Every structure is written in structure tokens, then in C-alpha cells.
Structure 1
Amino acid sequence: MHIHHLLDENSVANTFISELRNVEIQKDQMRFRRNIERLGEILGYELSKKLSYEPQTMTTPLGEATHQIIQNELVVCSILRAGLPLHQGLLNYFDKAENSFISAYRHHPNPYNDAEFEIKVEYLASPSLEGKTLILADPMLATGRSFVNVYKALENMGKPKEIHLVAVIGAEEGIELLKKEFPEDTHLWIATIDPSLNDRGYIVPGLGDAGDLCYGSKMQH
């Protein structure tokens, strides 16, 4: 797996990530969503450097100009619900991409053990992925099981030509799982990597539950 870590170099992305983590700024849901969207734009820009290009000539008012234009057939697939602002950030830059949406959530079969959970996938709306470039997006890469289960659920949609995973914050443990479960030539685009998970499988220091911070708390089922 090819890992592209945004914070290997300093940039304005540092500011957006620090605001996502800040417990006071988190109270502003609109700003939280916008910061994830902005990081989606930055990660999308970096990702675009690895796509395929061909020259295309267009007519200007004063002559002709030739530019290298993306040739990939892109499909942006986001994991509901925290993936929605990240999806929008990617779509702001890949506006001709097809769109796919899939649900993945933590199901706690034992109400007395919050640390025990499984990832359930219950909803999928997707075009064919055959021969296309799949961009699979989820802000939080904790255990990695959401990415893996979603990838397996997409198998019936066709075999993509290439796969790019996009996340805002990830844990080392989850990244190790992705290395085992995804094709070797998969690219992971991630803003920042944290060292560990707690006993409930949440990223430490992380930022909390991205879905709740984007859209409000939910009832568990």
C-alpha cells in the first residue's frame, strides 16, 4: 500500500486539523463540517497528482491552448454519515465523478460491553466500478474494519482499475489492517496519523465521534 501522509509537510491543513480536534471549536457543527470538507479538497488535490492525464486542446478567444486533462473514470464512494462533508470536498474538485454511498456503523451486540462491536453494512447505492478509479472516503480510520467491510460489500459492483482511500485521521492499527486486506497498489491519502486506539476502538488523541460532531448525537440500536 502506498501511504500519503499530508502532515509529513507543514501546510494550512494543520490549522483545519487542529480546529477539528479542539473541543471548543467542535461545538460549531457547521465549522466542523466545513473543515472536513476543506481537508477533502486538499486530499483530493494531492490525489489528483497520481491520476492519468492526456493532452487536450481547446480554443480561447485569442488562439488555442493545450493542457493535460484527467482521463480516469472516477467514482467517489463515501461511508455514511460522517463521510458526507468529506465527499463534498472531493466532489468540489472532481465534479465530473460518479457517486456512490454506503452505510457502515458500529453495532454493539452486548449492551453491557461497549468495547465489543461489529461493523454492519446495510445500504448501498453505487454505479458500476468495473475498470474505474474508486475513491473510498471516510474521515475516521480507526480499526480499519469499516473500510474493509465496505470494500467487500462493493465487490458485486465490478472490479475497479485502481483504488484510493481517503481519510482525515487514522490510527496505526487500522492502517496495518488495510495493508493486509487491500490490493498492494492501493493508495491511502490521509491528513494525520495518531498512535493508538483506546479500549473502545476510538482513535487517541483523535477527535471523538465525527458523525455526531457533524450532525448531532444519535440513538444507538
Structure 2
Amino acid sequence: MKIHRFDHSNSLLNTFTAEIRDSKIQKDSMRFRRNIERIGEVLAYELSKTLDYGPNTVETPLGSKKMSLIKDDLVLCSILRAGLPLHQGLLSYFDRAENAFISAFRHHPNNEDDFEVVVKYFAAPSLDGKTLILTDPMLATGKTLENVLNVLRGHGTPAKIHIVSVIGSEAGIDYVQKVFPTETELWIAAVDEELNDRGYILPGLGDAGDLAFGVKL
């Protein structure tokens, strides 16, 4: 797997990442969602540089212009509910992409530390021969992405898979590298070293879904 991480270089992306981590700023859920979107927009731009392009002729009111435009058939697939703001950021740039959505959440039996990932909803077009962009804002243990990959296999074989995340753990990235195809590429704004006993990233930012949309039961 090829990993593109952006916390080792100076850019405006670090400002957006800092704000979603900040416990005071993240109390503003609208700003939290917008910062996730902006991170998605930046990562979409960086990812776009690696796609396949072909010649096109654009007709203007005064003539024609040959330009190189994206050839890939893109499918954006996001994990509900936390992935929605990140999905919107990517969709703002890849606005002609097809879309897929999947619900995958952690279930902690008896509120213990151990958990299983439950998938209950999935809607997607055919993935055969297309470029799949799989978005999950928090890449913690990697088990959610593994379960999503297993479900996606029933909808065809993509020509290429990209994973887009906001914050990940080193352990989660290592795990995903083992279960995804070797040519998969990961685009991630920041990587943290640790997970706690419940599999949450430290220092991370907390529960991205709750911060974006409110605390769930």
C-alpha cells in the first residue's frame, strides 16, 4: 500500500486538522463538519493528481481548447454516519462521481472493551473496472474498513482503490495494509501513534460522528 500522509509537511491542511482536534472549537458542530469537508477537498485535490487523464476539446464562445481531463469512472463510498462530511468534501471536487453508502458501526457487547463491527445497510453501483474512493474519517483499528471491503466484493472488482481518512493510528494503518490489495493508496491528513483499550485513537479527537451530528444513544 502506498501511504500519502500530510502531517509531516507544512500546509493549510494542518490548520483544519488542528481545529477539529481542539476541544473548544469542536463544540461548534457546524465548524467541525465544515473543517472535515475542507480536509476532504484538500485530499481530493492531492488524489486527483494520480488519476488517469485523457485529451478533450472544450468549445468556448470564441473557439476551442484542447485540455487534459480525468478519464477514471469514480465511485465515492462513505461509511455512515461520520463519513458524510468527508464525503461531501470529496464530492465537491469529484462532482461527477457515482456514490455508495454503507453503515458500519462498533458494537460493544455489555459495554466491554472488545467490539465487533456491524454492517446493516449498503447501497452502491457496480464497482467493476472503476476507481473506488473509500472514505472513513477515523482509521482506528482498521476492522471497519476490512468489513466494508468484504461487503464491497459483492458489487464487483474495482480497477483501483483509494482510502481517504482524516486521522489514523499506526496500528490501524498496519492492519489495513494486510487486508487490502497491495496497490491500494491511502490519503490521510494525520497519523497518531496510540489506541486506547476501546480502540479509539490517542490523542485523536473523540467520536467524529457525535461531534458532527450529536451524541447517539
TM-score past 0.5 threshold: yes
Give the drift of 1:104.
Answer: 0.5
What are the equivalent positions in structure 2 for 1:179-194 lying under 5 Å apart?
A: 179-194=177-192
2:8 is matched with: 8
What are the equivalent positions in structure 2 for 1:121-140 lying under 5 Å apart?
A: 121-140=119-138
> Aligned equivalents of 1:97 and 1:166: distance in 2?
15
> Aligned equivalents of 1:101 and 1:45: distance in 2?
22
The aligned amino acid for 2:197 is: D
Name the SS for the 1:75 alignment partner. strand
Q: Give deviations 1:53-112, integer Å, cap 9, x for gaps.
A: 00111122222211110000000000000000000000000000000000010001233x
Give the drift of 1:18.
Answer: 0.5
> Aligned equivalents of 2:169 and 2:106: distance in 1?
17
TM-score, normalized by length of structure 1? 0.97
> Aligned equivalents of 1:131 and 1:18: distance in 2?
37
1:175 is matched with: 173
The CA RMSD measured in Å over matched residues stands at: 0.7
1:155 is matched with: 153
> Aligned equivalents of 1:130 and 1:124: distance in 2?
17
2:62 is matched with: 62
1:200 is matched with: 198
The number of residues matched between the two structures is 217
Q: Give deviations 1:102-125, integer Å, cap 9, x for gaps.
A: 0010001233x2x11111111001
Kept after mapping to 2: 8 A contact 1:107/1:118: yes
The aligned amino acid for 2:71 is: Q
1:80 is matched with: 80
Please state if 1:209 is matched with 2:196: no
> Aligned equivalents of 1:22 and 1:14: distance in 2?
12
Name the SS for the 1:177 alignment partner. helix
2:163 is matched with: 165
1:91 is matched with: 91
Name the SS for the 2:129 alignment partner. coil
The aligned amino acid for 1:92 is: S
TM-score, normalized by length of structure 2? 0.99
1:48 is matched with: 48
1:25 is matched with: 25
Name the SS for the 1:174 alignment partner. helix
Name the SS for the 1:46 alignment partner. helix
Give the drift of 1:200.
Answer: 1.0
> Aligned equivalents of 1:217 and 1:67: distance in 2?
47
The aligned amino acid for 2:77 is: C
